[in-house]
């Protein structure tokens, strides 16, 4: 069902992994102009990211750790780009 295994880039840190999963599911997005990650506040995309963390954590990482990493990354990312004007969208 989750056909996401094949092209996820290898990342060195659990945070990098969590970020790539969140990007992959569309839970976060990179500002095209400034490169900041933005939380898209999409609950379904978040759910998918947590599903991946639970069922397909990176090698050597427990599901609990992977879920915590997703939460950490989500907690560290705002829903707007700090450099974009507030009404840019
Ligand atoms: Zn921006």
Domain spans of the chain? 22-76
> Is residue 72 pLDDT above 50, yes or no?
yes
Ligand 1 centre from 60 Cα, in Å? 35
Lookup: tokens for 70: 């997703």
Lookup: tokens for 55: 């069922």
Ligand 1 centre from 24 Cα, in Å? 19
Q: What is the spatial distance between Cα 64 and Cα 49, in angstroms, rounded to a whole number? A: 13
Q: What is the pLDDT of residues 27-63, one digit of tens each?
A: 999 999 999 999 999 999 999 999 999 999 999 999 9
């Amino acid at each position: 069902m989750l056909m996401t295994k094949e092209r996820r880039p290898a990342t060195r840190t659990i945070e990098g992994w969590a970020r790539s999963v969140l990007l992959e599911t569309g839970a976060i997005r990179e500002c095209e102009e400034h490169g900041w990650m933005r939380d898209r506040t999409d609950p379904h995309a978040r759910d998918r990211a947590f599903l991946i963390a639970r069922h397909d954590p990176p090698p050597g990482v427990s599901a609990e750790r992977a879920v915590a990493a997703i939460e950490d990354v989500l907690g560290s990312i705002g829903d707007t780009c700090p450099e974009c004007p507030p009404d840019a969208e």
